[in-house]
A and B are shown apart, each in its own frame.
Chain A
Amino acid sequence: MLLEMDSITKSYGLVRANQNVNFNLRKGEVHALIGENGAGKTTLMRILYGMESPTSGQIKIDGKPVTFHDPTDAIKHKIGMVHQHFMLFPAFSIAENIVIGGEPKKGIVFDRKQAIEQTIALSEQYGMPVDPKKKVADCSLGMQQRVEILKVLYQGAETIILDEPTGVLTPLEVKELLASIKALTAKGKSFIIISHKLSEIMEVSDRITVLRDGVVTGTVNASETNEEQLSRMMVGRELIKLERSEAKIGKPVLELNDVTIVGNKTKPLLEDVQFNVHEGEIVGVAGISGNGQSELLQAISGLMPIDRGTIALQEKNITGASVKMIRESGLAHIPEDRYLWGVSKEATVSDNGIMGHLSRTSKRGMLDGKAIRTLVSGWVERFGIKTGSLHTKAQYLSGGNLQKLIVAREIAQQTPFLIAAEPTRGVDVGAMEIIHGELLKRRDEGAAILLVSSELTEIMKLSDRILVMYEGKVVGELDAATATEEQISLLMAGGKAVGQA
């Protein structure tokens, strides 16, 4: 065994984040660590990387017991970690970011030329091309991740921990990453991957260990398992198969006509966008992020003015109307970036919950404490939101629980039209199941839903109709029943509409 973690336990006060966890890694292997949010995956890896010390248990490298006090110790033992949120200096070049901590020197001066040469040598050795002089700020997220991996390799890592590596990547970048991982294992490197994206895990891993509530529920060979079994091990019960009834399409609820936002770049942010969303249907908008989806949602919800075109909601012209008026006309909105738009982190769970519900939770200008408690604690129960109390500040909730709170709040508006932007970003399988179920329920109740997601699987699973956006335009409309992932991917990358090919 290259690496063993024996009966690791980590307690924070009364909370057991890890309990007698056994985990090991063979040389040249990809070992995935999966589990729901809060199952203890990240804690276990932080222990392995020296960022936390275990309450009890032992780490062995090549059979010899070791103790890590900080990440430097872990790096000395050839363990490297790429964090979920990249830890790069955006203002510095790729080469400078890679050699940091072990900079080549000429006397006492930083030898930039050699840093660049070493970066090129490294990137050629491992087949991961980068432009060493390019600033990190100008790199795509996929490129930034490549830089992170090269940085870890530069430090001499034999074991590389990747925490949620594909969360922010485009489908193409995910493919490249998985290929890189395979190439590196062929060169003898070993990987531990934390993830909850089962399809990717199945594709790249040799073995999979599942954690639930801090306890290992099993370690299986990827070749001997399937996604259903893994989900069961993660959630602890059978997942309910989503029942999809036939769509009962009614009259149009949202109508967009030639909506254009010029912006200050050479290309318009939105160009002649035209589509309707009807009662009882979910229209999915697919696209690589940054192709106008954000602007589209902000335009519809009144957060960004449009330059041309009209938007109507419930046959009422809402072009240029205030957010308040649009919401009163029947819009609810699960925003794409929950921290930016969806909550006030300093405010409590109940304060965050009643945004947009004030008419129901106040009397004569005063907040009605009882009504607020009933409303919000109802959601906490129904969506299984894990929070200390209704007075806990939102910043202390995990991302997934916060997302559930936002989804609950917006679905509870019971509006005829709902925007669901990245409704399950960063949430675990169990929560995803709940959220998907609620969205389909709203659809069956006759609501019109506009779903925007960077997850193609989510789009394909929920939508009745799929629109593809590319560079601010709707470049394709597909029937979800017959569309294939390849068709959509091609359109997302700016290819020609299928059927003309």
Chain B
Amino acid sequence: MDKLKSTLQSLVQPLLAVLVGLLVGAIAILIVGGDILETYREMWKGAFGSFYFLTNTLARATPIILVGLGVALAFRAGFFNMGSEGQMVLGALSAALTALYIPGPGWVKIIAAFAAAVVVAGLWSALAGWLDSKFGMNLLITTLLLNYIATLFAGYMVAYPFKDRSGSAALSQTEMIDASVMLPKLFQGMTVHVGFIIAIVATLALHFFINSTTKGYEIRMLGGNPLFASYGGVSRGKLMVMSMFISGAFAGLAGVSEVLGTQYRFLDGSLTSANYAWSGIMATLLANSNPIGTAIASLLLAALQTGGMGVERNTDVPLEISSIIQAVLILFISAKFTISFIKRKKAGAKDGSAV
């Protein structure tokens, strides 16, 4: 009963935030001289208006959900994993290269590509965890900086050694993967692919892992009060490396599902310019790191983005209207953060002065 309640509560906040976002968006539409109702109707149509647009939204939500889940796990353990972007990119690159160069039948390549993405992204993320637990290097900073290394490294790899030289295009990208490795689409002619099913299963799996396993319990306690966890015999260092590995592995899943399900190759910049990683982080923050809430918030954000494209296609209001709404969401999140930061500060001060 209480669990259901807390799940519902985790939904209230993102919905409220989106509502306020839409209100502020309405003001912005008025300022540029658009029609509020028409704009939002177009936005709705662009996101859910037809089966095609709906599946388009689900396809966009897929990597956001997967990234969001990974971030959610790290947050629950108390770690600010800001490195999803780099983890996802490295996962995508390793998936593409594995799919291209591993011999064997299609299903072997698929499994190998998934394994490579999960392991590489996981290790990349765990590296940051290890640096923190071993040398006290701040995880938030290292994960942020590791993003640059990962994305630039991946860019180099497809600009030089593994560049696709078959076509005439001068794009930095790998060759296209074999049709046997491509993830099947869920519906003929629609963009949404099996990756979406993987994302839903992953959501439920993570929900179960966090709430019903002993490791999940330890992660929750570590995130709730690290001193309590260490007092109870939970080893922070080991758990940190482990949860960062899983967190990165989720980002890797996002990367591999994009490569095998949508783009069929690794194209430099395609994952970063779509802002999947930051949308995923935003979804997690909106949903307070609840896995199911994160999936729903990811869907909302994806809908906002695909809806924004619809607005641009059919009205004079620019695509940026979606960015304005997202900006309000970010404001909401930072307000929440500031409040909890102040609370923590206060509590800390009280403890401090009690000496």
Residues of A within 8 A of B (CB): 85-86, 90, 137, 141, 168, 290, 301, 303, 322-324, 326-328, 333, 335, 337, 339-348, 351, 354-356, 358, 362, 365-367, 389, 391-392
Contact = CB atoms under 8 A, between A and B. Distances in A.
A337 B347 CA distance: 13
A365 B213 contact: yes
A335 B231 contact: yes
The 3 closest A-B pairs by CB, nearest first: A344-B224, A391-B2, A324-B233
Given A137-B353, A301-B231, A391-B2, A365 B224 contact: no
A344 B231 contact: no
Given A168-B354, A344-B224, A347-B224, A303 B217 contact: no
Contacts of A362: 214
Residue among A333, A340, A344, A356 with max Cβ neighbours from chain B (10 Å): A344
Given A344-B224, A344-B225, A345-B225, A327 B233 contact: yes
B224 A356 contact: no
B235 interface: yes
Contact of A351 (B217, B231, B234, B355): B217
Given A344-B224, A366-B212, A366-B214, A324 B235 contact: yes
Contacts, number: 80
20 contacts: A137-B353, A141-B354, A303-B230, A322-B233, A323-B232, A323-B233, A324-B234, A327-B232, A337-B351, A339-B351, A344-B221, A344-B225, A344-B228, A346-B224, A355-B221, A358-B217, A366-B213, A367-B214, A367-B217, A389-B2
A90 B25 CA distance: 44
A342 B224 CA distance: 12
A90 B349 contact: yes
B134 interface: no
B227 A341 contact: yes
Contacts of B221: 344, 347, 351, 355
B224 A345 contact: yes
Contact of A290 (B214, B351, B355): B355
A323 B220 contact: no
A367 B235 contact: no
Interface residues of B, number: 27
B340 to A, nearest CB: 11
A344 B77 CA distance: 13
Given A327-B233, A351-B220, A365 B214 contact: yes
A347 B227 CA distance: 14
A343 B225 contact: yes
Instruction: Report whether over half of chain B's contact residues are helix, strand or loop; otherwise say mixed.
Output: helix
A346 B213 CA distance: 18
Given A347-B220, A367-B217, A303 B233 contact: no
Given A345-B224, A346-B224, A366-B213, A355 B350 contact: no
Contact of B217 (A301, A337, A354): A354
Nearest to B349: A90
Contacts of A86: 353
B231 A342 contact: yes
A303 B212 CA distance: 28
Contacts of B229: 344
B225 A367 contact: no
Nearest to A325: B233
B229 to A, nearest CB: 8
Contacts of A303: 230-231
B207 interface: no
Given A343-B225, A391-B2, A355 B232 contact: yes
A358 B229 CA distance: 13
B134 to A, nearest CB: 16
Given A347-B220, A358-B217, 13 more contacts: A90-B353, A324-B235, A327-B232, A333-B231, A340-B351, A342-B228, A344-B229, A347-B221, A348-B2, A365-B213, A366-B213, A389-B2, A391-B2
A90 B350 CA distance: 10
B3 A341 contact: no
A397 to B, nearest CB: 15
Residue among B220, B224, B229, B235 with max Cβ neighbours from chain A (10 Å): B224
Residue among B1, B2, B355 with max Cβ neighbours from chain A (10 Å): B2
Contacts of B227: 340-341
A383 B55 CA distance: 56
Interface in B174-230: 212-215, 217, 220-221, 224-225, 227-230
A351 B232 CA distance: 12
Contacts of B225: 343-347
Contact of A343 (B2, B220, B228, B355): B228
B3 A391 contact: yes
B220 to A, nearest CB: 7
B349 A341 contact: no
A86 B1 CA distance: 38
